[in-house]
Amino acid sequence: MGKGGMSHGEGSKVEEENMAAWLVGLNTLKIQPFVLPSVGPHDVRVRMKAVGICGSDVHYLKTMRCADFVVKEPMVMGHECAGIIEEVGEEVKHLVVGDRVALEPGISCWRCNLCREGRYNLCPEMKFFATPPVHGSLANQVVHPADLCFKLPENVSLEEGAMCEPLSVGVHACRRAEVGPETNVLVMGAGPIGLVTMLAARAFGVPRIVIVDVDENRLAVAKQLGADGIVQVTTNLEDVGSEVEQIQKTMGSNVDVTFDCAGFNKTMSTALAATRCGGKVCLVGMGHGIMTVPLTPAAAREVDVVGVFRYKNTWPLCLEFLTSGKIDVKPLITHRFGFSQKEVEDAFETSARGSNAIKVMFNL
């Protein structure tokens, strides 16, 4: 279990009772006490101020699982977060009480070969907020390693700090795909991750971005956020051929890199077909655990397929992008809720419905 906290009844209490939003059963959330561990020498205690809802949070609520991670006992939700330091461990030198920070939610072991190679996001011992059996951060307070808490610049709000987590997925994807000023990008999916990937690609200097989705409302948002072209598609596999032609026409030139931010048979098939010979397809979304896609034709054109899992060393660059104004995540925050039982339930239902909701944010 990570530093986030322990089940009710364990550990030592802080002065006031700490409350958190617990997933206690299928479609059942309860605000209940959340007892924190003591602050270690390299830890900080943070009062949460902004926590976003991720698609994985909704999956856990609706199915009690996300991919291979299964909720077997009550779990505190939330991992997109920012707050204010209330206590620092005796060895913490770079943060002080009152600092506003964004939290990177994953604690790796730093001992395995992957960690030592710098690919700590792939650590098999990763303890990640709100990933069973580790508790999350949708709480009044959490305890977390200080080196995973990043001080916010004065012109970056706490909500923007919480948005560093989804933005990190887009930044990591752009690094993995090696996009830049000579790369034309296609983004499959105009949901929250598709949109932050589009924003990140632009910040990396990508000159032209086309984004596709089945939802015309989300495509309209993508256009407002700076997409050069939008294409509305269907969910029918038989439409891939004609839609690829439409995508390539809209791009006006080769598609160098495609980000599949949905991860379905249809989106991946489209991505592989639309990307030029020698290009790259970066699989970001994980909609289908197992996909059947036309790999052989893509391999014959030497289209590289690159995987993405979480992120590594992204918070400093995210904060630089936000501080400089290269990326503006504020328009993505479409709904805000407080931290009462009813508001927690309403917030998750709003996020689950999708429609005009992009990022649902709690203000604690």
SS3 string, 278-319, reads EEEEEECCCCCCCCCCCHHHHHHCCCEEEECCCCCCCHHHHH
Taken in order 326, 206, 149, 69, the sign of the CA dihedral is positive
Pairing of strands 19-25, 28-33: antiparallel
Cis (ω within 30 of 0) for the bond into 331?
no
Reported as a single tens digit per residue, the pLDDT across 293-324 is 999 999 999 999 999 999 999 999 999 999 99
Q: Are 45 and 141 in contact (CB under 8 A)?
A: yes
Tokens for 258? 């495609």
DSSP three-state, residue 27: coil
**CB contact at 8 A, 22 and 316:** no
Written as one letter, the residue type at 204 is F
Is residue 189 a contact partner of residue 260, using CB atoms and an 8 Å limit?
Answer: yes
* Strand-pair category, 100-103 with 106-107: unpaired
- The alpha carbons of the chain give a radius of gyration, in whole angstroms, of 20
Pick from 11, 53, 50, 17: nearest CA to 345:
53
Quote the crossing angle between the two packed helices 216-224 and 192-203, to the nearest 10°: 20
pLDDT the model gives residue 117: 96
Token code pair at residue 43: 């830890």
In angstroms, rounded to a whole number, what is the distance separating the alpha carbons of residues 64 and 58? Answer: 9
Tokens of 229: 């072209």
Q: What is the pTM of this model?
A: 0.93
In this prediction, the residues of the chain whose per-residue pLDDT falls under 50 are 1-2, 6-14
How far the first Cα of the chain sits from its last, in Å, is 24
| Distance (Å, whole) CA 309 – CA 280 | 17
Handedness of CA 16, 21, 24, 29 (dihedral sign): positive
CA distance 52 to 78: 7
Q: Where are the alpha helices (DSSP H) in the chain?
A: 55-63, 113-116, 158-162, 164-177, 192-203, 216-224, 240-251, 265-274, 295-300, 315-324, 341-353
- What is the per-residue pLDDT across 140-175, written as a single tens digit (0 to 9) for each? 999 999 999 999 999 999 999 999 999 999 999 999
Nearest 5°: CA angle at 169, between 121 and 56? 85
**pLDDT of amino acid 13:** 43
The two counts, helices (H) then strands (E), for the chain are 11, 20
Q: Measured between alpha carbons, how far is 64 from 56 in angstroms, rounded to an integer? A: 10
Please give the pLDDT value at position 153.
97
Please name every residue paired with 87 in a beta bridge, in sequence order, or none if there are none. 45
**Cβ atoms within 10 Å of 250's Cβ, excluding its own:** 17
Token pair listed for 339 = 């931290």
